[in-house]
Amino acid sequence: MRKRSVATGIAAIAVLAGSLAACSSSGTSGTSVTDKVQSGKKLVVGIKFDQPGLGKKNPDGTFSGFDVDVAKYIAKQLGANDASITFKEAKSADRETFLEHGDVDFIVATYSITDARKQKVDFAGPYFVAHQDLLVKSDNTTITGPESLSGNKKLCSVKGSTSAQKVKDNYAKGVQLQEYGTYSDCVDALISGAVDAVTTDDTILAGYAAQHPGQLRVVGKGFSDENYGVGLKKGSTDLKAQIDTAIRKMESDGAWQASLEKNLGPAGYKIPSPPAITE
Ligand code: GLU
């Protein structure tokens, strides 16, 4: 009787150890994402839902934009088709947390590679370089660059973004920075007159300006380099290498250029060359 209970105990421990091992391999490390794809499980990819031309959830439930195309291309290279991707909205302030908690497998969401973020997450890429800029009302003649914001101008940016951080670090004096949750909320505030300008990457601003022709315009004096990376859970060495390979392929087979022309071209954005992959 006693022997049997010991054996049962050992069996229970073995089962527990097995399920713990299964747990750790179902995280978001390189091998597990490949395992996930091979076993037909859905990939969860973080994108923006409100940035036209980059990451947008359309009224019919479909998703479009350059980041969406990059995400789909990567997924395909990993062996997953479009139907096996679940897109999850990753607002600027949520990105590191989503990756750290394993809520997403990877993130393609105008996500700049920075040393501060690299303390918490890994990046593949970069796959694009954008520049921080300003969006104003078309008839505004006083805001010509970040320096012209002093004089208590109300400036909107987003929590957890490099854009808000840069204003705090370099242009805080005399500027009233308001941090919202999303850039589309900032754009609404600009249209209503609650703020004087919106700041973030020129790619994002170009998309909003194109939605409001004659009403909003991008100032066009980029004042940073934003290297967009694919965000990964820290320690995803294999997955990072696979994603870098996928990005190189997308750039060399013309899909990268075609997606940019389709998604940013109509907004008048000048398509740059792809950056060197450094991560
Ligand atoms: N690329 C910048 C960043 O990662 C601004 C755009 C955004 O918030 O997504 O913070």
Instruction: Give the whole-angstrom CA distance, residue 127 versus residue 104.
Output: 19
pLDDT tens, 136-169?
999 999 999 999 998 899 999 999 999 999 999 9
pLDDT tens, 238-265?
999 999 999 999 999 999 999 999 999 9
Task: Indicate which atom in ligand 1 lies nearest the CA of residue 114.
Answer: 4
Whether the predicted pLDDT of 1 surpasses 50: no
**In a 3-state reduction of DSSP, which class is residue 224?**
coil
* Residue found under tokens 């195309």: 69
H or E segment at 106? strand 106-107
CA of 159 to the centre of ligand 1 (A): 10
What's the pLDDT at 5?
Answer: 52
Q: How many Cα neighbours within 13 Å face the side chain of 62?
A: 6
Instruction: Write out the DSSP string of 115-131.
Output: HHHHTTEEEEEEEEEE-
| Global pTM exceeds 0.85 | yes
CA of 227 to the centre of ligand 1 (A): 10
Instruction: Give the whole-angstrom CA distance, residue 152 versus residue 143.
Output: 12
Closest C-alpha to ligand 1, atom 8: 161
pLDDT tens, 173-191?
999 999 999 999 999 999 9
Ligand 1 neighbourhood includes 158 CB (under 6 angstroms): yes
CA of 85 to the centre of ligand 1 (A): 23
pLDDT tens, 98-133?
999 999 999 999 999 999 999 999 999 999 999 999
**Amino acid identity, residue 163?**
S
Whether the predicted pLDDT of 64 surpasses 50: yes
What's the pLDDT at 151?
Answer: 86
Please count the residues of the chain.
279
